[in-house]
Chains A and B, each alone.
Chain A
Amino acid sequence: MVLIGGVTILTVVVMTIVSPYISPFNPTAINAGPVLQPPNSKFPLGTNHLGEDMLSRVLSGGSVMLQVAVLAVVICSITGVSIGLMGAYAGGLADKISSLVMDSIYAFPGLVLAIAIAAMLGPGVINMALAIAVVYVPSYFRVVRSQVLTVKELTYVEAARALGAKSRRILTRYILPNLLPSVVVVVTLNFADAILMAAGLTFLGLGVPVSTPDWGWDLTYGRQLLPSGAWWVIGFPGLMIVVTVWGFTILGEGLSELLNPKLREIA
């Protein structure tokens, strides 16, 4: 499963990176061909209502989404892990307050929260990533917190403390490495969710400028073209989202199966 997931993601990433060199047309070139052509030999995936080549758009359409996902995952894993580490290690009031805040974010319908934040911040890659990051901070927090609570009572941590190690050293050198396997699993699953949410935000018009080639956008205007029966405008970009998200889900599940027995030994 790890292998299938990894290869899928790698293919999508490589495809997006090399797309400027292999695309037959400029993805935003209007009237590259006749409008709304079904797939044919010149336009293998057809053209949209502006006569843009769908193949070129599909090849490069993951770029924004992947950037947003990477940025969002980086921001929220760092924030979530550090809040979880510090809250759980310090205990007491700090732990209570951080848990309360995280629980309330967790209880909220994620997309609605992201929509509200994105609407306030305005469009753009960084703003979108921020909106998504806020939503997923609690998933890291919860995993990290529960593990820190067990790990910090273990004998080797006590020994380190008895030897006079400072809190910061204990946290970064002794506790953090133990958490990494489970954080890695959350990261992969988080990628899947972040991409889905980025697609959702773009679909609702909260994402990127109109001219950007993006799978989410293709679906937005593809919806208006549905009555004409132009299945290729939504079909291919949609499939790409599904494949990418599916790749990350499979990878995450595979990793968690691989890493779980190890985790059990530690705990």
Chain B
Amino acid sequence: MILLLLTLVFVILRVIPGDPVLLHFEKAASPAAMNAMRHELGTDKPLLNQYVDYVWGLLHGDMGKSMVDYSPVSQQVMSAFPATLELAIYSTAFAVVLGILLGVRASRRFNSVQDHGIRTFGTITYALPVFFLGMVLQLILGIHLHLFPTGGRTAIGMEPVGLTIGSFHIATGLYTVDSLLEGNLVKFATALHYLALPSISLGLVICGTFIRMTRSNMLETLRMDFVTAAKARGLPNRLITYTYALKNAFLPILTMIGLQFAALLAGAVLTETTFSWPGLGRYLVDRIGFRDYIAIQGAVVLFALLVALVSLVVDLLYAYLDPRVRL
């Protein structure tokens, strides 16, 4: 699967007509200089050799050197990666919690005004371009009400350094985790404050799927015998829905989280651009501006690896939560 994704990236960036070097210089450099660059990048070799070099390099964690600043792309993408991961974690959490709450609510009041309202809310959030929603939130909550910062990961001088014990240093690159490791609650609060708007925008846009999933699963589960049995024993409704039924409805939702992750990353590219969030998506967009094709390839490869990794984790979790599933 991973090899397949990597091959796909290769095909798109190398086989599709369009010479990176020619595009990079916009035909302005001398032919000799362009040939030297081609030789440097190895794009003058036959495609098969290029493919082998590319996969071999990736196995060694080598993504080539940037066409703009000539530093290793793998370092650059890895330093941008934690920001994207942090945004992805918080927006998924927001989307799942909101989706489950609204979905359960809609299923309990099946076919009522509330149910229809929640469903309409779901379709409207689906139709919202995340960058538009982001800007509206920036404008209202950031610029007019001054409640939230409108861009960046944290305030200047508030970057957490992580935990240092003697010569041993731990830093995850996730600001909310690092600030806790450092034991600095002010930095933690600042990081959360900066995370709020991007996560809410991205979370809102993808929560529709979770609302729909939860609602239909809950409707099905609430009709099952064990729910009727629990009701007959006189257990309070709230306990039945949130503990008994929701537990059973949760597995398909977990699968959905895995499936939605690719969509989430795509949304993250736009969200990062909107909020000047220094993550992988922003890096990708910046490098497109510079026509830095080696860097573009690196970023796209990392996105592909991320998706493959998450689907693996979800499969493992699934097997753990539902013992009937054997790996």
Contact = CB atoms under 8 A, between A and B. Distances in A.
A117 B16 contact: yes
A226 B9 contact: no
Contacts of B262: 107-110
B8 A105 contact: yes
Given A109-B265, A203-B131, A242 B124 contact: yes
Interface string B270-285: 1001100000010011
Given A107-B311, A108-B307, A116 B135 contact: no
Given A107-B262, A107-B311, A227-B143, A113 B269 contact: no
Contacts of B266: 109-112
Nearest to B268: A109
B192 to A, nearest CB: 22
B150 A203 contact: no
B129 A238 contact: yes
A261 B1 CA distance: 36
A211 interface: no
Q: Is the interface of B mostly helix, strand, loop or mixed?
A: helix
Contacts of A174: none
Contacts of A242: 124, 127-129, 132
B300 A219 contact: no
B284 A115 contact: yes
Given A104-B1, A246-B127, A112 B135 contact: no
Nearest to A135: B266
A133 interface: no
B135 A111 contact: no
Interface residues of B, number: 48
Contacts of A249: 123, 126-127
Given A100-B4, A115-B288, A204-B270, A109 B307 contact: yes
B136 interface: yes
A156 to B, nearest CB: 33
A206 interface: yes
A190 to B, nearest CB: 14
Nearest to B14: A120
Interface of A: 100-101, 103-105, 107-113, 115-117, 119-122, 192, 196, 199-200, 203-206, 219, 222-223, 226-227, 229, 231, 234-235, 238, 241-243, 245-246, 249-250, 253
Among all A-B residue pairs, the 9 with the closest Cβ atoms: A111-B266, A238-B132, A246-B127, A245-B127, A109-B266, A109-B265, A104-B4, A109-B262, A120-B18
Given A109-B307, A196-B129, 13 more contacts: A104-B8, A107-B311, A108-B304, A112-B269, A116-B13, A120-B23, A192-B127, A199-B129, A222-B135, A226-B135, A234-B132, A234-B135, A242-B128
15 contacts: A104-B1, A112-B269, A113-B12, A116-B300, A122-B18, A200-B270, A203-B270, A204-B269, A222-B135, A226-B150, A234-B132, A235-B136, A242-B128, A242-B132, A249-B123
